[in-house]
């Protein structure tokens, strides 16, 4: 979806629709095949299933945050090319949302009950980043995706050895997130100040520890 032909009120309504889809409906995705589709499910103990579900719930909540961040940036970004990059990345993040949600259902678990709060906070951060300037907006993308990659690496190490379906999803997500960071760098992202990166890391840790249980 390209935003350059729409007025700001139009884009606002479009992002509102996308936000409602993210939280309560089926978001618009690229319709890529779920990477876990051909992977057989394994017999997991109750403890392994609970732990895998907690990790996938965190990853789903992280994708809600990423979606909101991209939407906020797309809403306030100045250059149409930057808005287009945000829109495409957001659509790919929707794939991740659907894959994680499907896996949570298979594990007999639920999405984070605090997703609306994660979404609202990330939308505000994304909108502020876009308002600050495109190079800073892209810098937020780079740092966000790098932190997501580190979380995914940690979760891949923690997954029960037999949970190949969750592993296939997280590995594809990691590949996409690293590419999003590279794309933002190539588009002219500015490195964020160290205090900002530390604050983002702190917020991320709070979300991660909370979403695992809630």
CATH number at 109 reads 1.20.1260.10
Give the position of tokens 């892209």. 138
Q: Are 70 and 83 in contact (CB under 8 A)?
A: no
Q: Is 34 part of a structural domain of the chain?
A: no
Q: Is 38 part of a structural domain of the chain?
A: no
Q: Is 177 annotated as a binding residue?
A: yes
Q: Is 125 part of a structural domain of the chain?
A: yes
Q: Is 180 annotated as a binding residue?
A: yes
Q: Is 3 annotated as a binding residue?
A: no
Q: Are 149 and 203 in contact (CB under 8 A)?
A: no
- Return the structure tokens found at 25: 């409906």
Q: Is 164 part of a structural domain of the chain?
A: yes
Could you read off the pLDDT of 69-102 as tens digits, one per residue?
A: 777 777 766 666 666 666 666 677 788 888 999 9
Percent of the chain with pLDDT over 90: 23
- For residue 62, the tally of other CB atoms under 10 A from its CB is 29
Residue 25 has what pLDDT? 61
Q: Is 48 annotated as a binding residue?
A: no
Residue 18 has what pLDDT? 62
Instruction: Look up the domain containing 112 and give its range.
Output: 8-26+47-213
pLDDT (average), residues 195-206: 81
H helix intervals, the chain: 8-24, 46-76, 80-106, 115-132, 134-158, 164-186, 194-213
Tell me if the pTM is above 0.75.
yes
Q: Is 37 part of a structural domain of the chain?
A: no
Number of domains forming the structure of the chain: 1
- State the average pLDDT for the chain: 80
Q: Is 42 part of a structural domain of the chain?
A: no
Q: Is 36 part of a structural domain of the chain?
A: no
Q: Is 194 part of a structural domain of the chain?
A: yes
């Amino acid at each position: 979806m390209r935003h350059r032909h729409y007025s700001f009120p139009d884009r606002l309504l479009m992002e509102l629709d996308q936000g409602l889809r993210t939280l309560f409906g089926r978001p618009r995705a690229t319709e890529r095949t779920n990477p876990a589709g051909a992977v057989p499910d394994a017999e997991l103990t109750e403890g392994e299933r609970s732990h895998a579900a907690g990790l996938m719930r965190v990853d789903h909540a992280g994708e809600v945050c990423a979606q909101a961040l991209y939407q906020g940036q797309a809403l306030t970004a100045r250059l149409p090319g930057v808005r287009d990059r945000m829109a495409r990345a957001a659509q790919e993040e929707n794939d991740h949302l659907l894959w994680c949600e499907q896996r949570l259902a298979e594990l007999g678990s639920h999405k984070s009950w605090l997703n609306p709060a994660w979404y609202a906070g990330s939308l505000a951060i994304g909108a502020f980043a876009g308002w600050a300037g495109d190079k800073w907006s892209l810098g937020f993308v780079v740092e966000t995706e790098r932190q997501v990659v580190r979380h995914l690496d940690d979760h891949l190490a923690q997954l029960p050895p037999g949970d190949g379906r969750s592993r296939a999803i997280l590995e594809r997500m990691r590949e996409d997130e690293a590419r999003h960071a590279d794309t933002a760098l190539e588009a002219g992202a500015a490195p964020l100040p160290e205090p900002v990166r530390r604050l983002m890391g702190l917020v991320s840790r709070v979300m991660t520890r909370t979403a695992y249980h809630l």
